[in-house]
Amino acid sequence: MASLPNGAAAGGSSAAHPVDKEVDFANYFCTYGYLYHQKEMLCDRVRMDAYHSSVFRNAPHFQGKVVLDVGTGSGILAIWSAQAGARKVYAVEATNMAEHARELARANGVADIVEVIQGTVEDVELPEKVDVIISEWMGYFLLRESMFDSVICARDRWLKPDGVMYPSHARMWLAPIRTGLGDKKIEDLDIAMEDWNLFVEDTQTCYGVNMNALTKAYRAEHEKYYLKSSIWNNLHPNQVIGKPAVIKEIDCLTATVDEIREVRAQVTLPISLDGARLSALAGWFDVHFRGSVRNPAVEEVELNTAPNEHGGTHWGQQVFLLTPHLKVSRGDNVNVSFSMVRSKENHRLMDMEFTYELHELSGRKHPAVTAKMYLE
């Protein structure tokens, strides 16, 4: 047989069914057990600068306080918390990376403050409540990975009533963009189908089996892969051809899992460029470190993953192709109904539906188009 090396892991658990922890570990956590992957995140300057500033510019939130770091990975946020003056930091990590985090805390002279606990935050028992929960839980388009569930669980179990969340707020954005990515994908799909057709002919001729019954399914599998799966990209700001809209706001201190299990929004995206080709929508997020109403930040810090000409983040943006594309001009509006739910097969992946409708400045309304997209 010979499965492809590094075959993509699918399968798993749905939102409706209880999560199989062993499967979740196989599908998800394992990635974070590699230093290679930790380094990718530690080399993201935008991410590092934002968290570093959020801690050290708000040292009063940490001085003499108890901190919980959810998913500490290599331990960097826990170490910074200790360096900023925390009395105690509980650093929870599910993977064997926990051992490296422990080593790093030791090497940086904070082993007496940072206590690394290997396990999931859902299962962990702490000896006390905490003043701060810090976590870098954001996945592609904010909610991929569904890790914020664990942060909510940690908050409800361990945060003191006047405790603060780092970050404190998060937002998801959607914007109309132009990109050549779709042309390439359509070409790739065409090539794949030509190749399939040759294969069908060959298999009939050489091996006496008619494979044509699977042509439709093969096309569907490849359309999903090439056209309906969102594409990671670091866009240039000049690819954004209209006004981005917020489609979800999260207050990390009060959000519930029910609030993030589904995201639904209706937004209007005004086009700001003449004679442009609307070939995709793009999604990204930002988070803010504002402290709380009772304990506001000394200095508010933002981590923004929008298209940026000075370089992007490892999150990039997610591109959702619109096929076929639309010709648009300044003054046109694109009305978008958006919904995102967790995939039935794997609760950390997302199934989306976009219904978009172009209203030209002239008054002409194009028919609404509905497209399913997958964030895998």
- Residues identified as active-site: 136, 145
Residues 28-57 that bind a copy of itself (CB under 8 A): 28-37, 39-43, 48, 52
Write phi, then psi, for 221 (nearest 5 degrees).
-60, -40
Q: Which span (176-184, 218-226, 264-272, 334-342) binds a copy of itself, by CB under 8 A?
A: 218-226
If binding is defined by CB under 8 A, does position 58 make contact with a copy of itself?
Answer: no
User: Which residues, in sequence order, are CB contacts of 230 under 8 Å at separation 6+?
Assistant: 140, 141, 283, 318, 319, 320, 352, 373, 374, 375, 376
| Contact call for residue 225 and a copy of itself (CB under 8 A) | yes
Among 14, 20, 298, 361, binds a copy of itself (CB under 8 A): 20
DSSP 229-271: B-EEE---GGGB-B--EEEEEEETTT--HHHHHEEEEEEEEEB
Rounded CA separation 189/240 (Å):
26
Q: How far is the CB of 313 from a copy of itself (least distance, A)?
A: 9
Pick from 16, 125, 161, 217 the residue near a copy of itself by CB under 8 A.
Answer: 217
Query: Which residue among 107, 293, 298, 361 contacts a copy of itself (CB under 8 A)?
Result: 107
Site for a copy of itself in 248-287 (CB under 8 A): none
Contact flag: residue 127 with a copy of itself (CB under 8 A):
no
Q: Is 27 a residue that touches a copy of itself (CB under 8 A)?
A: yes
CB 281, min distance to a copy of itself, A: 19
Binder of a copy of itself out of 205, 207, 258, 311 (CB under 8 A): 207
| Token pair in block for residue 242 | 């209209």
Whole-number Å distance between alpha carbons of 29 and 93: 10
Where in 137-176 is the site for a copy of itself (CB under 8 A)?
137-140, 144-145, 147
Q: Residues 300-339: x/- map of binding to a copy of itself (CB under 8 A)? A: --------------xx------------------------
> What DSSP state is assigned to residue 31?
G
Give me the least distance between CB of 178 and a copy of itself, in Å please.
Answer: 23
| DSSP helix/strand/coil, 171 | strand
x/- letters, 63..102, toward a copy of itself (CB under 8 A): --------x-xx-x--xx--x----------------x--
10 Å CB burial of residue 63 (0-12, 13-18, 19+) is: exposed
State whether the Cα torsion 194-200-201-202 is positive or negative.
positive
| Nearest CB to a copy of itself, comparing residues 128 and 194 | 194
Q: Is 12 in the site for a copy of itself (CB under 8 A)?
A: yes
For residue 374, state whether it binds a copy of itself (rule: CB under 8 A): no
Q: Is 55 exposed, middle or buried (0-12, 13-18, 19+ CB in 10 A)?
A: buried
| Other CB atoms within 10 Å distance of the CB of residue 345 | 14
State the number of binding residues for a copy of itself (CB under 8 A): 77
Residues in CB range of 60: below 8 A, 6 or more apart = 298
Tell me which of 59, 157, 181, 203 binds a copy of itself, using CB under 8 A.
Answer: 203
Cβ proximity to a copy of itself, 30 vs 153, nearer residue = 30
- Closer to a copy of itself at the Cβ: 229 or 295? 229
Torsion of CA 10, 144, 340, 184, to 10 degrees: -70
Q: What is the DSSP letter of 146?
A: -
